[in-house]
Amino acid sequence: MLGVFLDRDSLDRGDLDFSTLDRVLPDWRYYPATTPDQVAARIAQAEVVISNKVMLDAATLQQAPRLKLIGIAATGVNNVDLAAAATRGITVCNCRGHVTPAVVQHVFALLLALCTRWPDYQRAVREGRWQQASHFCLLDFPISELAGKTLGIIGYGELGRGVAKVAEAFGMRVVLAQRPGTVDALDGRLLLPALLPQVDVLSLHCPLTPATQGLIGAWELALMRRDAILINTARGGLVDEALLADALRRGALGGAGVDVLSLEPPVTGNPLLAPDIPNLIVTPHCAWGSRESRQRLVGQLAENILGFLSGTPLRVVG
């Protein structure tokens, strides 16, 4: 069987071991990246295709008559036309849970940076302000503690649970949002109108779906406390980015840490990349990118192929 990996460099920086993939399927064509006009030719003879973010739409799948398995090198599968794949009898498998330690760590890296204001203090030291201070310490930026604060979580899957566990270790109170798009409350979870006014921190961990597109907009931001912090390591489309930027500028929100934008990379710009937004940290969708996380991803891709070949496919989507 021929395997094609369309965008290997999206996860590999020369620091990963691909021997598990090579053992389950010896015949591979690895491509560092693939542009839309190259996809059809590259998968034309493939029976297994791995893609992280390369689009595999219905028209493209029609040009791959031998294709049997699509392995998504991620959890989200919005780059694949699942209905078209099902119609053609193509199995689609994703990867799950491999990023949890890395993303949970990143959530708290963003949150702690915003609460301790260490980027501001580091800049102050580099600018010589501490050296010129009249006292032994510099306290120019307000510092807040996590202990005793309330953390609201939207999306209580593996990532949300991981964040809640660490939050409790910091002494935070955790409240959970009812899943967007559902009607009946579950396990004491709160509707957003009840949850948002009481949280000091809101962390997003839900997928991007029609029900969650623009989930945090003008109405939701207005419900949040003026000193609340928003953390988004899920998907950029969950938040109205222009309104978030405006809320931060007006002091209507205490801060925000985001690792995701609505268009990535932001080749046409983004409201959250403006240089004048206070108390905002933007990182380049790297929360998932620890070496350990990426190596677990390779292992799951191999497991998915092996499971498919043995007749017991794993992590099937759709």
Query: Residues 234, 239, 242, 244: what is their CA dihedral angle, to the nearest 10 degrees?
Result: -90
- Please enumerate in sequence order all residues whose Cβ is within 8 A of that of 176, keeping only pairs 6 or more positions apart, or say none: 152, 153, 156, 160, 164, 187, 188, 189, 190, 195
Please say whether the beta carbons of 287 and 99 come within 8 A: yes
Specify the long-range contacts of residues 159-167, CB closer than 8 Å, at least 24 apart. Answer: 159/99, 159/100, 159/103, 159/104, 159/205, 159/233, 160/203, 160/205, 162/100, 162/101, 162/103, 162/104, 163/104, 163/107, 163/108, 163/203, 163/205, 166/104, 166/107, 166/108
Give yes or no: 235 in active site: yes
Give yes or no: 264 in active site: yes
At 48 the three-state DSSP class reads strand
Instruction: Report d(CA 141, CA 118) in Å as an integer.
Output: 9
Q: Which of these is catalytic: 42, 235, 296, 315?
A: 235
Give the H or E element holding residue 152: strand 150-154
Q: Which of these is catalytic: 129, 264, 291, 292?
A: 264
Q: Which of these is catalytic: 173, 225, 249, 285?
A: 285
Q: Which residues are catalytic?
A: 235, 264, 285
